Amino acid sequence: MYLAHTRPDLAYALSVVSQYMHNPGEQHMNAVMRILKYLKNAPGKGILFTKNVDHQSIEVYTDTDWAGAVDDRRSTSGYFTFVGGNLVTWKSKKQNVVARSSAEAEFRGMALGLCEALWLRLLLQDLGYLSRQPIRLFCDNKATCDIVQSMSRWTDSSLRRKLDDKIVELPKI
């Protein structure tokens, strides 16, 4: 599990095999061995930070598979957050509930990524980096983006309020 903190390319695979840590079968051990072989053959993969003074915004890319888990039909969400074009946080997590549509699953994934981006923005403010640019939240599901854009200001949606207050923007992919 600690590998996922330094290797974003392993986040999804590790989240899947970790679900079976308490009762692993032979196929789970084979999956772990496959991950270890990948690590052995790709030792130079990692994170490289570069300074980019022209690009200081926070960007979040989210994606979700709808009902991708065969055993319980729950969806898996993931996000990557970038500051100044540099990858700083990422996560792959199985959702707690079964989504009734791909739009619902993607909305939950967007909310997960947005929470991380807002936390990151506050952390940067505490460190003295005040950004006037909105957080750019990318989602590849048009239905979800349309739902969020069409919500009224008074709907109980934190995401909609952040859009109206220009804290977050949803660029088209």
User: According to the model, what pLDDT value does residue 104 have?
Assistant: 92
Number of domains in the chain: 2
Contacts 24+ apart (CB under 8 A), 20-29: none
Whether residues 160 and 109 fall in one domain: yes
pLDDT of residue 164: 84
- Phi, psi (deg, nearest 5) at residue 45: -75, 135
- In angstroms, the first-to-last Cα distance of the chain is 32
Domain harbouring 70, CATH code: 3.30.420.10
Domain span holding position 80: 58-169
pLDDT at residue number 50: 83
| 165 assigned to some structural domain | yes
Q: 68 in a domain, yes or no? A: yes
Q: List, for the chain, all residue ranges whose pLDDT scores fall below the cut of 70.
A: 1-2, 53-54, 152-156
Based on the fold, state whether residues 22 and 66 are members of the same structural domain: no
| Residue 155 pLDDT | 58
Question: Of 88, 162, 157, 78, which is closest to residue 129 (Cα–Cα)?
Answer: 88
Encoded amino acid at 48, one letter: L
